[in-house]
Amino acid sequence: MKKVSSLMILLLAGVMMFVSCSYAGNSGNGGGTPAGNDDGIPSDSTDISFDGKTFKLTGEVQLMTTAATITGSNDYNQNSNDTGAFPNGRSVTLSPFIMGKYEVTQELYEAVMTGQKVKIGGQDKDLNANPSYCTSNSANYKNMLPGEEQKYRPVEYITWFDAVYFCNALSEKMGLTKAYTITNISVSDGHIDSATVTPVTDANGYRLPTEAEWEYAARGGSKSTEEQFKQYWSGATTTNYSASENDDINGVAWYTCNAKKLGSGTAGYGTHQVGKKAPNAAGLCDMSGNVREWCYDWSASISTAENVTDPSGPSEAQTYRVIRGGSWWDGAFICAVSYRNGYRPDSRTNDLGFRVVRKAQ
């Protein structure tokens, strides 16, 4: 059963369970990963490396070389319940940034977080380096489809605070300036459940994407055509929503109709190895489906009459942090590029992970 930390989240997930689905099976590995080494996955020139090891399926994409301005349009927001980050009347300018091609894998998370401790009241508190529910040790999620490896499934069941801490820890390993100052930390069950998090201006280290960066990337960024930018799902071929089971989303996302309906304990139930579905125009995988992704912003309504540069949500603390992208648990509707949601930053669920970004040099 899905693990959540608030009744509101359970109710929201339940709304989408009206769908009737059929299993579409594994659609292959998207951009293609030819065999020829130990696991059939070649190293990418941009894969993350530290401590003498290269971590596969961690490659990065630069989304633009110069600043991009997106003028809001009703054509960009096919989801009738939400405006997305680019509503009609809003103009958003984004600075160049680099984003992970994939959601952070369990292997990378473990490598970064193993041995991480937080000192609280003079005592060291260990942080959980293996938090995921969708693992080979779980009766419900252990059976992967042929060709998938456990270590390449996305990490999940982490708080927003865990994610920003990971970003700083990865930056340290990569010799980059940490993107956050994190103080007043509280730890429970190996997870950070509260902290004061302040962005570091002009840091070149890893961080969570802002909501606007996430949606721009999900729509294909500067590499997309105008028609691709209007796509309902990231990398899909349609600009229209027709049903919660949709052939167009099957090719680009793990969602309820090809991952959840199978039933607990069966092959393909739960998360999947990252990069197994087709990428979008920018070469990013799983921007719709697999796991939802934490963004930096506090969740709040978006003004439709403003010109903003590199927006990062309200500066005042709110209740929820932004979640984008949909997951293996969700119907196609929630996997829409424009769909907005928010969870408490101390929330943990088995369909919630993240991907990292950093400033383009």
CA 6 centroid distance within chain? 20
DSSP for 30-99 reads TT-----SSSS-PPPTT-EEETTEEESS--EEE--SS-EEEE--GGG---TT---SS-TTEEEEE--EEE
Amino acid (1-letter code) at residue 267: A
Q: Phi then psi for 189, rounded to 5 degrees? A: 55, 35
Residue whose C-alpha is closest to residue 313's, from 295, 291, 331: 295
User: Which of 73-82, 211-220, 286-295 shows the lowest mean pLDDT across its residues?
Assistant: 73-82
- Asked whether the beta carbons of 296 and 206 are under 8 A apart, the reply is no
Would you say residue 222 has pLDDT above 60? yes
* Contact indicator for 361, 203 with CB cutoff of 8 Å: no
Tokens 């990963």, residue located: 33
Rounded CA Rg of the chain = 19
Q: What is the DSSP letter of 300?
A: -
pLDDT-based confidence at residue 81 (cuts at 50, 70, 90): low
DSSP code per residue over 191-232: EEEEEEEEEPTT--S-BPPPHHHHHHHHTTGGGS-HHHHT-S
H helices of 97-189, where?
Answer: 106-113, 160-173
Maximal C-alpha separation, the chain: 57
Contact criterion met (CB below 8 Å) for 82 and 325: no
Q: What is the pLDDT of residues 114-138, one digit of tens each?
A: 999 999 988 999 999 999 999 999 9
Confidence at residue 240, expressed as pLDDT on a 0 to 100 scale = 84
288 or 246: whose pLDDT is higher? 288
Q: In DSSP terms, which residues pair with 126 in a beta bridge? A: 117
pLDDT given at position 276: 97
Task: Determine contact, residues 132/106, Cβ cutoff 8 Å.
Answer: yes
The token pair that represents 240 in the structure block: 């229209």
pLDDT digits over 305-330, tens only?
899 999 999 999 999 999 999 999 99
Q: Which single residue is written with the structure tokens 């950093």?
A: 358
How many whole angstroms separate alpha carbon 98 and alpha carbon 185? 28
Q: Which two tokens stand for residue 127?
A: 């942080």
Residue 18 confidence (pLDDT): 32
Please measure the distance between the N-terminal and C-terminal CA atoms of the chain and give it in whole angstroms. Answer: 43
Domain 7-359, what architecture? Alpha-Beta Complex (3.90)
User: Across-strand partners of 283?
Assistant: none
Q: What percentage of the chain exceeds 70 in pLDDT? A: 89
Which pTM was predicted? 0.91
> For residue 138, what are its two tokens?
């779980």
The pLDDT, as a whole number, for residue 249 is: 94
Structure tokens at 102: 């994939």
The secondary element (H helix, E strand) that includes residue 9 is helix 7-15
Q: Which of 69-83, 136-150, 221-235, 254-268 has the lowest mean pLDDT?
A: 69-83
* Residue 17, pLDDT score: 35
CA dist 76 and 83 (Å) reads: 9
Bridge-based pairing of strands 292-298 and 352-353 is parallel
pLDDT of amino acid 25:
38
Is-contact 106 272, C-beta < 8 A?
no
The pLDDT tens digits for 144-187 are: 999 999 999 999 999 999 999 999 999 999 999 999 999 999 99
